[in-house]
Amino acid sequence: MSNKPRISRLTAIITQLQSKKIVTATYLAEKFGVSVRTIYRDIRTLEDSGVPVFTEEGKGYSLMEGYYLPPVMFTEEEANALITAAHLIFKNKDQSLVENYGSAITKIKSVFRKNQQEKSELLEQRIDFRYNPEKNITSTNLIKLQTAITDFSLLEIEYMSLEEKFTKRIVEPFALYSTNENWLLIANCRLRNDFRVFRLDQIQKITDLNEKFSPHKMTLQEYFEICRAKFYKTSDTPLT
């Protein structure tokens, strides 16, 4: 849990204080991989924010009895939307997305009120999507690629084209999109020195090279506009 972002750490400190009668600065410092001095600053920040933290000299910190962080509350409509989204996600052909969303929705449902849980269980039995009824899994790397995009991680991919031509590419992941039931990766390919699109179901292997690349100064919409300009040279060509 080292190098935990500060906002997350502050919330986690409150959780620790809620779960124990008294907590020492040393314990919190070891728990979150920071210095005791940093914990002192965190506690002062919480106090300044109105969190009722009590300091017991020579012992540690505790919270005022009865204080707690309220759980996230969902309206019935929000809960139904989440259940519907879950059914759609579970039909997806990328296993990593299915597994991670399944874990997330389980955590989300744990904070549903009792009557919401009963209704969500009923709704789960009354919804179905005919998309991918065979539950085919064609890729497993969507979540890994999402992380690579946000971390600007340089990757090596082993790729088999639809023409069955095998290549190794070092790529800078840029974006993902889905079309015709397939996920596609947009990436700057260092082999071609240009942006290319790779089908996830054709990627044989992904290796993180533990190297960062400079963020691309382009939005996804700008990328699509560049592609349109390449394919439609004249202004009277219909954009269908």
What's the pLDDT score for residue 7? Answer: 79
Element (H, E) at 25: helix 25-32
Q: How far is CA 79 from the centre of its chain?
A: 20
Band (85; pLDDT cuts 50, 70, 90): very high
Radius of gyration of the chain (CA): 24
Q: Give DSSP secondary structure letters for 38-85.
A: HHHHHHHHHHHTT--EEEETTTEEEEPTT--PPPP---HHHHHHHHHH
Residue 122 has pLDDT above 50, yes or no: yes
Cα dihedral across residues 86, 90, 96, 102: positive or negative: positive
Q: Give percent above pLDDT 90 in the chain.
A: 60
Residue 215 has pLDDT above 80, yes or no: yes
What's the pLDDT score for residue 69? Answer: 64
Residue 172 burial class via C-beta count within 10 angstroms: exposed 0-12, middle 13-18, buried 19 and up: buried
Would you give the end-to-end CA distance of the chain in angstroms? 50
198 phi and psi angles, rounded to 5 deg: -125, 130
Band (116; pLDDT cuts 50, 70, 90): confident
Band (236; pLDDT cuts 50, 70, 90): very low
pTM of the model: 0.66
Residue predicted with more confidence, 118 or 20: 118
Mean pLDDT of the chain: 88
By C-alpha distance, which of 36, 39, 30, 37 is closest to 1? 30
**Phi-psi map region of 135: left, alpha, beta (phi>0 left; psi -120 to 50 alpha):** left
Give mean pLDDT, residues 120-142.
90
CA distance 32 to 19: 16
Give mean pLDDT, residues 85-113.
89
